[in-house]
Structure 1
């Protein structure tokens, strides 16, 4: 924990600090563009916070308020983003202060938090762990020709004013995936996804079946300046409510064979693409880790988590957490009929009784969302158990999930 008297003070940033906030963000994430100037502050999507040493703003971050799917139930999810420190103030513990302040602010409202890391190992020290992996496919458009005519419906272009059609698809698709976000605001769609008013607006199409939106694509074209010979269609956002709608989208992409040499899109590995294309060797597949997740409060997370109706448990869990003292300790978890109750257990001085299971905050986070099951958490995570029956209980409580947080923030 950051308890040094010299630690920075963390506070919300007012509109007066907008220029300073943007300057730090631009230097951290867009240094190649040089110093920039801005007009009026746009509508806020995230709450901004800063670390101050005296009157000097030395580090910044943004807090997002989301609702995410957790094993079929919608729960609050905090998002941490735009964490940045100017080079003259780095390696002084300012990010640690921002992270610990965020966890303290989120406690009691958000059982889980997520972020998109610039470095996985960097955020592991603060208790975050990988939430999901994703596969990026790159292939010539003819490899998607199998999907032409395979789905009922049609594609049509959409403008930013039609963002609600995309939202309906997004929300339906999110119901099948843990950590998918339930709702994107109108501002999010217009500014973040469709870049309304921007110089580099993407193309957007919706796939309709029986007059209803069933899928959508948002994409751009990339080239090397030499024309069609080396042009790529890059999908920025893609969602479908079912397999047929996804086939419709893939068939639509295949029809760009006169405009592009290859197509790139991301998936959570549920497309069966390599089993459907004519030549799997012509399809490039790159698996990467995606966002990271963290329990904000052990009690809240274990009580918010839905459990299988057939699972039951009464066990003690020892959690280690160097960044949130309220999580560092022993807890009792009881589960009956799909509902869990959790309480912190006081441990007397000199009590050497072992907990049934011991793990760190990151490994617990992965169990809760279903990225790892108990076997994987023992193999590659930090989980240890006193006896095999405990591992069997944890396996029943936390089956693996289809986890895919695809919204970048």
Structure 2
């Protein structure tokens, strides 16, 4: 790789939009061929580019998001649309974009997230798996147990009702960590409901006593040869409570005259296999999802909500090959659910830390993807003695982590 300093990173002006889109489309949709672009649409993400002189050699997008973290809402920086034309690859330009992003986010965002094209690629920059997700594929009759199990009714909705969907989404989001809040109107209309697009999905809500308490956004697709082989694929699904979820599943079951398969995604804690008549008829696939990263260790450890009865006074040695401000020793004190954290500077090289871990493992502990025992077993956490592991386990209990919104 060449030196990252050879590329200057700066925000992209509107007149670079077509060039940005060409680079991104070539990276992620090359099968569609060269495209023509209309006027710059409403900007959901801020666009940045790496330049060598005036040549745009790599691009990315930054998202300003809000996400749940252990029951509270925090700012989350999203990194997306990272793309480099093939003639400029393997020159260190993505590294320049990442370093610039972390510098810009520092002090504003305790955490960042992305959806990787290759997990190992972003692990080198400090991101780590945020959560897993389970995809279920089953004949519609396997969801028949939910027919009539919930009060209410299903009805179709148009993009103008996006606020109702957002309300359900945010109610459901409160039950998980890293669920996103404050999807904008443009996000709902353009990203979720594809208003004005050629391939608009179908959208239904589950309504109870006049209130929307669940929704589905889905498409129909081929599941094999022949007209009779059709799949209903759910793109987005949320329910305010278990009864509303049953209503949605019963609605899906009523497509048995149209499809041979239903496919939808859920977090790993769903009880679907305990509800269906024949669990063997349900295919389950568990996959890793997005990745998460601590932007600034001090900020993240002080922002993280802790159990009210947790207390600690420990020293953590963190390694971070991308953000040097995280590469060092930190004193962490926790009492009454609040934390103070500070880097150890004067004697950092001589102190014996209570725990040592890489920034990816730290990120997973903060959000609760790994508990401490798992982080010691499969992650990068080592502790000086067992009592330290007990203390950390009290500080960082596991969470139901599920960032399901693609950006």
- Could you say whether these structures have the same fold, taking a TM-score greater than 0.5 normalized by the shorter chain as the test? yes
Question: Tell me, what secondary structure is at the counterpart of 1:88?
Answer: helix
Cα distance between partner residues in 2 of 1:272 and 1:295:
31
Cα distance between partner residues in 1 of 2:224 and 2:70:
46
CA contact (8 A) 2:296 2:326 kept: yes
Cα distance between partner residues in 2 of 1:204 and 1:267:
18
1:323-338 equivalent positions in 2, closer than 5 A: 323-338=322-337
Q: Quote the RMSD (CA, aligned, Å).
A: 1.3
CA contact (8 A) 2:113 2:293 kept: yes
CA contact (8 A) 2:7 2:96 kept: yes
| CA apart distance, 1:230 | 1.2
| CA apart distance, 1:270 | 2.9
- 1:270 is aligned to 2:269: yes
CA deviation map 1:134-154 (0-9, x unaligned) = 000000000000000001111
CA contact (8 A) 1:116 1:290 kept: yes
1:45-124 equivalent positions in 2, closer than 5 A: 45-124=44-123
CA deviation map 1:232-283 (0-9, x unaligned) = 0000000001111100000000000000000000000232000000000000
| CA apart distance, 1:226 | 4.9
| CA apart distance, 1:225 | 8.1
| CA apart distance, 1:59 | 0.2
| CA apart distance, 1:164 | 0.6
Partner in structure 1 of residue 254 of structure 2: 255
CA contact (8 A) 1:228 1:260 kept: no
| CA apart distance, 1:177 | 0.6
Cα distance between partner residues in 2 of 1:4 and 1:115:
24
Check 1:227–1:165 CA distance in 2 against 1; reply closer, same or farther (3 A cut).
Answer: farther
CA deviation map 1:313-372 (0-9, x unaligned) = 0000000001001101000110001111111111438x4331000000000000000000
CA contact (8 A) 1:139 1:282 kept: yes
Question: Tell me, what secondary structure is at the counterpart of 1:365?
Answer: helix
1:173-212 equivalent positions in 2, closer than 5 A: 173-212=172-211
For normalisation by structure 2, the TM-score amounts to: 0.98
Partner in structure 2 of residue 407 of structure 1: 405
| CA apart distance, 1:224 | 5.8
**Deviant stretches of 4+, over 6 Å:** none
CA contact (8 A) 1:330 1:347 kept: no
Question: Tell me, what secondary structure is at the counterpart of 2:97?
Answer: helix
For normalisation by structure 1, the TM-score amounts to: 0.98
Question: Tell me, what secondary structure is at the counterpart of 1:229?
Answer: coil
Unaligned runs of 5+ in 2: none
Question: Tell me, what secondary structure is at the counterpart of 1:259?
Answer: coil
1:203-352 equivalent positions in 2, closer than 5 A: 203-223=202-222, 226-348=225-347, 351-352=349-350
| CA apart distance, 1:202 | 0.1
1:377-388 equivalent positions in 2, closer than 5 A: 377-388=375-386
CA contact (8 A) 1:228 1:261 kept: no
Partner in structure 1 of residue 361 of structure 2: 363
- 1:395 is aligned to 2:388: no
Alignment length, in residue pairs?
407
Partner in structure 2 of residue 159 of structure 1: 158
| CA apart distance, 1:4 | 3.5
Check 1:362–1:118 CA distance in 2 against 1; reply closer, same or farther (3 A cut).
Answer: same
| CA apart distance, 1:3 | 9.8
